[in-house]
Structure formats: C-alpha cells, structure tokens
Amino acid sequence: MKSTGFIATPGYPKREVNRGMNITVFVPCYVDACYPGVGIAMVGLLERLGHDLKFHPELTCCGQPAFNAGCWDEARKVAARNVDVLTDAEAVVVPSGSCAAMMRKFYPELFHGHPQESEASAVAGRCHELSSFIADTLGITDVGASFPHRVTFHDGCHGMRELGIKTAPRKLLADVKGLELIEMEDSNVCCGFGGTFAVKFPSISTAMGETKIGTASETGAEYIVSNDVSCLMHIGGLLKRRNDPLKTIHLAEVLVQT
C-alpha cells in the first residue's frame, strides 16, 4: 500500500559525475520513515542533473515539532547537531517547505543570542527547499521529466510565506512533458496540517483539509502535487479515508519521472 501514490522507481545506480557543488540532502524523520520514495526521488533527480550527493544518516530532524510547541531549548538541542554536522555543506537541499523554512528562516531566530548564532545563521543561509534550489539556485527549469497527467498544485504555507516559494515549482511543472497543470481555487489557502495542530484541533484541521480537497477536486485533476510532504500526508490521509480517487504526489516524485 503506497503512502503518497508514489510510482515505484528502481534504486539508482550511483553516478560518479561531480559538478563541483557540495550538496547534502537532508531527509527529515517522517520522510525517512513514511515517504522514503520522496527522498529517493529527490536523490534520483539531483543525480540526473549531474550532482554528487552527500547524506548524513545521523541527522534525523530539523527540530520544528519542538519549536512549534514553544519548547525552543529542546528544539535548539536538535538543531545544534544539524548545524554542527552541516557546517561544511555548500548547499543543503530539503524536500519539504516546512522543514526548509525551519532551517533557513527560523534557525537564526532560534539561535539568536546563543554562542552558535553565527554558525547557525551561516548554515541557515545554505539550506534550500528542493524546487527553489533547482529553479532559482541552479537556474534549471527543464529537468527532462515526463508525467502525462492532469495535476493541480497545493502551495505549502511555510514554503510560500516564509520562503517566498510560489513560481519555482510551477516553472518546473511547466517543463514536464505531457503534464497539464490546472490551478485550483485557493491554492494558497492552508490545508490544515500545521504540525501538532492537526492532532490538537483535529476537527478544525479536518475541516480545512476537506475544503482543500473540495477545491482540488473541482479542477478535475488526477493528482494533487505539493512541495511539502506534511501537507500531502494530511490531505492524503483524508482522501484515503473517503476512498477518494484523487491521488497525492510530491513534486520530486513527478520530476524524477522520465
């Protein structure tokens, strides 16, 4: 049983080409455990673009759950390890807008006034959400992908409002062969996940998710694509409970298709 409708792609043979950029992929806890296909797709995609990748299996989480709960000391403990290990990375690529926002936008805030502040800010500036890394940093919009389906795009709030990501994913999707993108009404309205909000206030979270599914379904799309795994986990969970034919898929999983 697939979690996100990920179409299985065999593991990639490691390619030895190195374009010079020292890229580390950061695969957060829930992606690692529940949606490994997203991480695998991200690796396949970046390697197809000719980059040699690093991965640190000892890094598990960006620390956002603790941060969002207000437990900033505990969040800092987790974040500090990330900062230490990622100090030499030239670029850290994250497949989820919310984790990328935590590292890029909130790490400087979290370490403000602490001894590791300048290190943390330096690392933060080198963290990127996947779609903005490819489209904005690498300047590539055609990744050689093919995905002949009707899709609609959901903007994860953290990526959109904390990191300003709006056009990057759309530019990438525009160059995917055979893909038809139909914008849903209110693509920029929150899906209702919000971290622990989803379980602290489940009725509100569900109501928001149902509204999102409503607007997505109106487009007639087969897939909801997003650059945030947490949104897809929530939307996907609702869809599955309703036996809804609408499927969820992560942007990386689309872009890796050839």
Partner 1 sequence: MTSPADKFTEKSTVVAENLDHRARIRDAMKKYEGTRGDGVQRFNDWEAARDSASRIKGNVIGRLNHYLEQFVDRIEARGARVHWAEDSAEARRHVLDILGRAGARRVIKSKVMTGEEISINHALEKAGYEVVESDLGEFIVQLRREDPYHFVFPAMHLSRGEIGDLFTKELNTPHSSEPEELTMVARRELRKRFMEADAGICGANFAVAETGMISITENEGNARLTCAMPRIQIALVGIEKVIPRLEDLALFLPMLATSGTGQALTCYNSLYGGPRLQDEVDGPEEFHIVLLDNRRTVVLADEEQRDSLHCIRCGACLNVCPIYRNIGGHSYGATYQGPIGSVLTPYFKGLRAWSHLAHASSLCGACTEICPVKIDLHHHLLQTRRNAVSVQPARKARWPYACFAFMMNRPRIYGFAVRVMRRLQHWPVVSGRKLLRPWTKSRELPEIAPRSFRDWWKERG
Q: Which of 20, 73, 113, 139 binds partner 1 (CB under 8 A)?
A: 73
Q: Phi and psi for 43 in degrees, rounded to 5?
A: -65, -50
3-state helix, strand, coil in the chain (%, to 5): 45, 10, 40
Task: Choose the stretch contacting partner 1; rule: CB under 8 A; options: 74-82, 119-127, 131-139, 140-148.
Answer: 74-82
What DSSP designation does 146 have?
B
Residues 218-237 that bind partner 1 (CB under 8 A): 233-234, 236-237
> Judged by CB under 8 A, does residue 203 bind partner 1?
yes
> Judged by CB under 8 A, does residue 97 bind partner 1?
no
CB closer to partner 1 out of 157 and 179: 157
Residues 120-149 that bind partner 1 (CB under 8 A): none
Look at strands 180-181 and 223-226 and give their pairing: unpaired
Burial class (CB in 10 A: 0-12, 13-18, 19+), 70: exposed
Residues 3-32 that bind partner 1 (CB under 8 A): 3, 11-14, 27, 29-32
Tell me the closest approach of the beta carbon of residue 176 to partner 1, in angstroms.
Answer: 23
Tell me the closest approach of the beta carbon of residue 104 to partner 1, in angstroms.
Answer: 15
Task: Choose the stretch contacting partner 1; rule: CB under 8 A; options: 52-60, 114-122, 129-137, 170-178.
Answer: 52-60
CB 171 within 8 A of CB 141: yes
Alpha-carbon span 174 to 185, nearest angstrom: 18
Alpha-carbon span 104 to 66, nearest angstrom: 16
